[in-house]
Structure formats: structure tokens, C-alpha cells
Amino acid sequence: MKSWRFVGFDDSFKGDECFIVGAVVEGKNYLEGVIVDRIEVDGLDSTSKIVSMLRKSKFRNQIRAIFLDGITFGGFNVADITEISRSLSTPLIVVMRKKPDFESIYRALENLPDFELRKKIIERAGDVHSYGSVFFQFSGCDRQSAIEMINASILKGNIPECLRMAHLIATAVVHGESKGRV
């Protein structure tokens, strides 16, 4: 059986500088490549940047699924998971350690421009499901396929390996060393 390849995206920022990092992993344990770009803190460019990064990537045709560490990057730069999945014709799965508190998120978003647009993007992401000790959302596949890909991407613990690696790389790029909970 040919191994699946996954790409996981996470970010790290300090002040006005934010990097978004994609880690391309074969299955659960072999890092094959890294893609990096900058996004605006509290901007609206994370969707277009993720799509652009993957379209340009030499790994594009090998990616079985895209994983995101939540749907907000660089503060409240909200990624449109439906648009990313549709644009790339690839399933997308958002994995979170905690269930989002949408009431608090919406209150915070009210302080930013384009509140209604950001809220619509979050709502379009759909229901939050639980599986084991994680929560997830998905687009471009069904719930069972999303669970199958989550299982196929975890080496140990409960977070897909591509997200763990993206986190380590993103924090090292910005802070000089990986840090924080993976």
C-alpha cells in the first residue's frame, strides 16, 4: 500500500510578523518538505496564502489531505476551509485540542474590520465534532473519512504528525527555537 502524504499548517507570530508553515509528511513519520509564507496578523489572507503555497508546491499532487491547527492564524486571520478544500480539490481537516468557544471568538472579532465576513467564514466551517480527545471540522470529505485520515496521520498522542512538525518549525522560525505545547 502506498503511503498517504499529509500537509499540516500552523503559524507563529511576534508583533506584526507572522509566518505560516506547512509540513509535508509521508504518513505519520517522515518529513518530506516544508513550505513557508508570511500572513497578516488579524488579516484576511490565510486562505489565499495556503492555496497559493500548495498550488506552487512540488508536493501538490501527492497530498491526500490538508490539516489545519484551528481555523485562525496570526490572531484572527480566519481560514476558509471550504474554499481551500474546493480550490485544491483536497479534503481538509481542522484539528483542535479544545472545543472552540464561539461566543468569545465572536466578541473578539467585533473589534476587527470585516466582522461579518470573518463570522461567515467561521460558520461555513460547519459543526465541530469530537473524536477521542480532539475536536475536528472537515470539508471535502465525510466524517468517517476525516476520522480515517486523522488516525492515519498520528504517530503518537492525539495530534497529526504533520501539525506537530508544522508547529515546531513555525515557532523556531519566529522565536529561534521551538516552544509551546505541540
Per-residue pLDDT tens digits for 91-132:
999 999 999 999 999 999 999 999 999 999 999 999 999 999
CB 173 within 8 A of CB 13: no
* Res 182: pLDDT: 58
Q: What is the mean pLDDT of the chain?
A: 94
Q: Is 38 left (phi over 0), alpha (psi -120 to 50) or beta?
A: beta
User: Among 41, 60, 31, 140, which Cα is nearest to 92's?
Assistant: 140
Top-level CATH class of 5-173?
alpha beta
* Res 2: pLDDT: 58
Question: Among the residues of the chain, which ranges form H helices?
Answer: 46-56, 81-88, 102-109, 115-124, 143-153, 161-175
Question: What is d(CA 6, CA 59) in angstroms, rounded to the nearest whole number?
Answer: 10
End-to-end CA separation in angstroms for the chain: 29
Question: If you average pLDDT over residues 171-180, what whole number do you get?
Answer: 86
What tens digit of pLDDT does each residue of 42-71 get? 999 999 999 999 999 999 999 999 999 999
* Res 156: pLDDT: 86
* Res 105: pLDDT: 96
